[in-house]
């Protein structure tokens, strides 16, 4: 069997040449299946044409694959080949979106049909292939086999009008056959594995992409990652989280305590894609009332050997209006899904944005003279879409912002924001919890003042901590350490964990704390929890490790809890401070 070339059929016909046999794959727009027809052009050729036309009389041909063969092939071989290629299409579609069912509908004469519950997968697959026809031509027609003049709407069987068909060498034919065989066999195997195994493969495969991101500029790579998540090009976690990781905080059910810190998705572009990775919660922002570009570029620097990043972005934000539009659309979709859900009695983890909890981090504009007014405006606009709100007063890249962490300034600010939140009308679930994010570069006195304000005003929580302006000894040797900005990543772990322990002791464990800073493994997350954190957040480690890091951290965290005999996350909170 000599596979000469692959060509694309047009809507109303294909090109036949001489005594060759053909195989056509096409899609019925109004039917849920793909059909494969094989025809024998001789004798006479009109019989073959009538056979194809009889099968396609009820609909128009979509862009389809036409396989030409140089030598005559027995009918039973051609039928088997047609079935094999249709099956391979099913396998590829299963990879893109797992099929609910797939069965052979009929197998008779010269027609094979495979029925599928989700036909749109096939349509998308074929149209994607159609858009890549030029690439296929370049690959399969190296000798210029394809002649544009032969691609006509009708049928032509005159041998004198047929283009000369090139031949591949024996090695080329063997390579082509082996490749097709591997694709079909691999697709068939993938379609038989369970969903959990396949999901694990997808997450592991993302490690192959990390080196390409490492070659890019830090901010370009960041934007590309957000764009990929926004378009749901990242794998989705289908495996349930270990039951030991589930917990309830502020009346919200978290499937796991591992979240994504603010700063990654600043403008709420990719909430659904990021939650789909398996995070228990995602925090967007910081969001400013008025759009602003932030500080001049370059403003993000990788310290690879130290597993750290220095940034001085300066609250670059599209503003609360743009973010409110995106969150409003996601909130509406979530409500629609809940309304159409058939299992009303099922208790689901998640919040206003989807399967996970959504936090909104609020910031102030660089040129604003009234910081409280900026935060109040953010509350009025975005609180209806948030499962919790964060007042960010600890970024080192906005002049004067950290001064709001003083006892009097913080007390006045929190009072105004709480009043703005409480004056709004809320349903049964009540207003979103209000948290404050603090810096790691605070003195013992500063920590005592913040703890006192948090207890006096019944603050719902604290996030500990933001980036640091200090440079630990293991970072000072890096030439980039002299860059201005906040340092995040592994060098921040010890500093932020010590602040976390201190704050847990000062608040006597009465206020939920979120541990953030330097977490890169399940053991790190476990250390944060034992130091007083109820929840933990990643950022820099996720930027370096990619999606594969998330299931790894959750699995390691569950192992740590079981190893030390804890039955839940809440049992382990503050274990090292008791």
Alpha helix (H) residue ranges in 150-270: 170-190, 195-205, 210-214, 218-230
Strands (E), 266-347: 281-287, 300-303, 308-311
CA 443 to CA 454: how far, in whole Å?
17
For the record, the structure tokens of 485 come out as 């900005």
User: Do 322 and 291 contact (CB within 8 A), yes or no?
Assistant: yes
- Residues near 139 by Cβ (< 8 Å), separated by ≥ 6? none
- 298 preceded by a cis bond (ω within 30 of 0): yes
Look at residue 245 and give its three-state secondary structure.
helix
Rg (CA), the chain: 30
Choose, from 286, 394, 395, 520, the residue flagged as catalytic.
395
Element (H, E) at 479: none
User: Do 279 and 539 contact (CB within 8 A), yes or no?
Assistant: no
Write out 373-388 in H/E/C secondary structure: HHHHHHHHHHHHHCCE
User: Residues in the chain, how many?
Assistant: 578
Closest of 237, 255, 230 to residue 201, by C-alpha: 237
Alpha helix (H) residue ranges in 33-132: 45-56, 75-96, 120-131
Beta bridge partners of 434: 389
Residue 395 known to be catalytic = yes
At CA 209, angle to CA 207 and CA 212, rounded to 5?
130
Closest of 365, 550, 534 to residue 464, by C-alpha: 534
* Burial readout 296-328 (b: 16 or more C-beta within 10 A, e: otherwise): eeebbbbbeebbbbbbbbbbbbbbbeebbebbe
Look at residue 343 and give its three-state secondary structure.
coil
Strands (E), 258-346: 258-260, 281-287, 300-303, 308-311
Look at residue 84 and give its three-state secondary structure.
helix
CA 353 to CA 474: how far, in whole Å?
40
At CA 324, angle to CA 320 and CA 327, rounded to 5?
135
Active site residues: 395
């Amino acid at each position: 069997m000599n596979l000469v070339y692959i060509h694309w059929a047009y809507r109303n016909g294909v090109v036949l040449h001489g005594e060759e046999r053909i195989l056509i794959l096409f899609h019925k727009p109004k039917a849920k299946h793909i059909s494969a027809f094989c025809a024998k052009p001789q004798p006479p050729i009109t019989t073959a044409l009538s056979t194809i036309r009889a099968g396609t009389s009820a609909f128009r041909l979509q862009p389809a694959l036409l396989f030409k063969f140089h030598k005559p092939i027995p009918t039973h071989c051609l039928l088997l080949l047609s079935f094999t290629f249709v099956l391979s299409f099913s396998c590829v579609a299963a990879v893109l979106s797992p099929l609910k069912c797939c069965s052979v509908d009929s197998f008779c004469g010269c027609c094979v049909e495979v029925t599928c519950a989700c036909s749109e997968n096939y349509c998308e697959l074929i149209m994607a292939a159609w858009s890549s026809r030029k690439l296929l031509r370049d690959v399969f027609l190296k000798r210029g086999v394809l002649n544009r003049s032969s691609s006509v709407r009708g049928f032509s069987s005159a041998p004198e009008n047929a283009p000369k068909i090139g031949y591949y060498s024996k090695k080329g034919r063997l390579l082509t056959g082996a490749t097709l065989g591997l694709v079909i066999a691999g697709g068939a195997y993938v379609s038989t594995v369970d969903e959990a195994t396949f999901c694990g493969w997808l997450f592991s495969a993302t490690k192959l992409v990390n080196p390409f991101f490492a070659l890019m500029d830090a901010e370009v790579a960041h934007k590309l990652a957000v764009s990929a998540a926004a378009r749901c090009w990242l794998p989705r976690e289908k495996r349930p989280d270990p039951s030991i990781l589930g917990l309830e905080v502020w009346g919200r059910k978290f499937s796991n305590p591992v979240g994504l810190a603010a700063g990654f998705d600043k403008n709420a572009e990719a909430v659904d894609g990021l939650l789909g990775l398996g995070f228990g919660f995602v925090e967007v922002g910081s969001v400013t009332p008025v759009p602003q570009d932030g500080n001049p570029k370059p403003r993000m620097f990788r310290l690879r050997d130290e597993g750290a990043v220095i940034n001085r972005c300066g609250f670059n934000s599209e503003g609360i209006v743009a973010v409110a539009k995106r969150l409003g659309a996601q909130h509406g979709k979530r409500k629609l899904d809940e309304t159409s859900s058939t299992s009303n009695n099922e208790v689901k983890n998640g919040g206003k944005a989807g399967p996970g909890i959504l936090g909104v981090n609020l910031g102030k504009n660089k040129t604003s003279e009234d910081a409280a007014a900026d935060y109040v405006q953010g509350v009025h606009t975005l609180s209806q879409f948030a499962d919790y709100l964060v007042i960010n007063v600890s970024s080192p890249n906005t002049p004067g912002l950290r001064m709001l962490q003083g006892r009097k300034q913080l007390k006045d600010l929190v009072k105004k924001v709480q009043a703005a939140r409480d004056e709004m009308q809320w349903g049964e679930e009540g207003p979103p919890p209000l948290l404050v994010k603090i810096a790691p570069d605070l003195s013992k006195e500063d920590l005592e003042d913040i703890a006192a304000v948090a207890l006096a005003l019944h603050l719902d929580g604290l996030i500990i901590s933001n980036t640091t302006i200090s440079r630990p000894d293991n970072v000072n040797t890096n030439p980039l350490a002299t860059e201005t900005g906040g340092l995040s990543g592994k060098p921040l772990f010890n500093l932020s964990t010590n602040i976390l322990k201190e704050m847990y002791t000062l608040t006597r464990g009465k206020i939920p704390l979120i541990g953030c800073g330097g977490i890169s493994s399940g053991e790190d997350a476990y250390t944060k929890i034992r130091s007083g954190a109820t929840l933990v957040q990643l950022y820099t480690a996720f930027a370096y490790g990619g999606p594969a890091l998330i299931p790894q951290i959750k699995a390691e965290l569950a192992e740590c809890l079981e190893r030390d005999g804890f039955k839940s996350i809440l049992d382990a909170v503050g274990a090292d401070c008791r």
